[in-house]
């Protein structure tokens, strides 16, 4: 197989990102960009890449859905026994990427990860559609399974068991994380590959520390 992508290029001219338009804090800018992504043709603006590393420093990345942004940071939910869950336990720092191609924008986030409390995770789990609750129980996420039929049989057994129940209990190995950011970079595509990059940084481990804003060369 051979793919030649050397001549695939797009000249970005949709917008600009200047210091005069950027607030001193990153969250208001993220809020503005996220809402603009929602109002655009972005199919899933809350889709983000979550990158982790294992104990040996080997990286892995996957797309996960953002579920909330609060005063602490960026919230998502998953199976704690999945590969990402195990790697977060081993090395509780991750990188996130939001890629809004329709707006020629990207946001990168680096930070440490904390588990949400059980009450919060349970409340979210039980707010999900019943089929999603059953799916969380049915899938031993990241484990090797024999075939698709294995999942279908587990799903059917759970549907029968909880036929008359609308709200399932939350699995013990399922819950939420909050990524407490230490760096947030906003990238706006510009012409001639001279893109705008504004990064907000604060001292590592200081969730309440002041943000410092810097312009980075593209």
Q: Answer yes or no: is 195 a known binding residue.
A: yes
**Distance of alpha carbon 14 from alpha carbon 45, whole angstroms:** 18
Q: Answer yes or no: is 66 a known binding residue.
A: yes
- Those residues whose C-beta lies under 8 Å from the C-beta of residue 216, and which sit 6 or more positions away, are 185, 197, 198, 199
Q: Answer yes or no: is 35 a known binding residue.
A: no
Q: How many CB atoms lie within 10 A of CB 119?
A: 8
Q: Answer yes or no: is 11 a known binding residue.
A: yes
Q: Answer yes or no: is 113 a known binding residue.
A: no
CA atoms within 13 A on the CB side of 55: 3
Strand ranges inside 29-147, DSSP E: 47-53, 59-65, 68-69, 74-79, 93-100, 105-115
Q: Answer yes or no: is 193 a known binding residue.
A: yes
Q: Answer yes or no: is 158 a known binding residue.
A: no
Q: Answer yes or no: is 179 a known binding residue.
A: no
Q: Answer yes or no: is 128 a known binding residue.
A: yes
- Nearest in space to 112 (alpha carbons), one of 138, 148, 74, 150: 74
Indicate which residue of 86, 108, 154, 193 is catalytic: 193
**Would you give the DSSP letter of residue 39?**
H
Do 81 and 140 contact (CB within 8 A), yes or no?
yes
Q: Answer yes or no: is 127 a known binding residue.
A: no
**Distance of alpha carbon 14 from alpha carbon 6, whole angstroms:** 23
Q: Answer yes or no: is 165 a known binding residue.
A: no
Q: Angle between the 148-161 and 130-138 helix axes, to the nearest 10 degrees?
A: 130
- Residue 148 designated active-site: no
Q: Answer yes or no: is 106 a known binding residue.
A: yes
Binding-site residue positions: 9-12, 62-67, 77-78, 83-84, 106, 124, 128, 132, 141-142, 187, 193-195, 197
Binding-site residue positions for FMN: 62-67, 77-78, 83-84, 106, 141-142, 187, 197
Give the residue numbers marked as catalytic: 193
Binding-site residue positions for substrate: 9-12, 67, 124, 128, 132, 193-195
């Amino acid at each position: 197989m051979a793919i030649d992508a050397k001549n695939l290029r797009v000249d970005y001219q949709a917008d600009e990102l200047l210091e005069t338009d950027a607030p001193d804090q990153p969250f208001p800018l993220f809020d503005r960009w996220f809402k603009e992504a929602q109002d655009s043709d972005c199919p899933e603006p809350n889709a983000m890449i979550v990158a982790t590393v294992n104990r040996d420093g080997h990286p892995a990345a996957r797309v996960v859905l953002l579920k909330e942004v609060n005063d602490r940071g960026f919230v998502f939910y998953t199976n704690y026994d999945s590969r990402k869950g195990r790697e977060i336990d081993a090395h509780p720092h991750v990188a996130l990427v939001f890629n809004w191609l329709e707006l020629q924008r990207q946001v990168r986030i680096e930070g440490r990860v904390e588990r949400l409390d059980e009450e919060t995770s349970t409340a979210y789990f039980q707010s999900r559609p019943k089929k999603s609750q059953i799916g969380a129980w049915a899938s031993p996420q990241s484990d090797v399974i024999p075939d698709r039929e294995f999942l279908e049989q587990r799903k059917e057994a759970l549907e029968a068991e909880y036929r008359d129940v609308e709200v399932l209990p939350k699995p013990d190995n399922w819950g939420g994380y909050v990524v407490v950011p230490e760096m947030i970079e906003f990238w706006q595509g510009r012409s001639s590959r001279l893109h705008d990059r504004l990064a907000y940084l604060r001292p590592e481990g200081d969730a309440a520390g002041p943000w410092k804003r810097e312009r980075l060369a593209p």
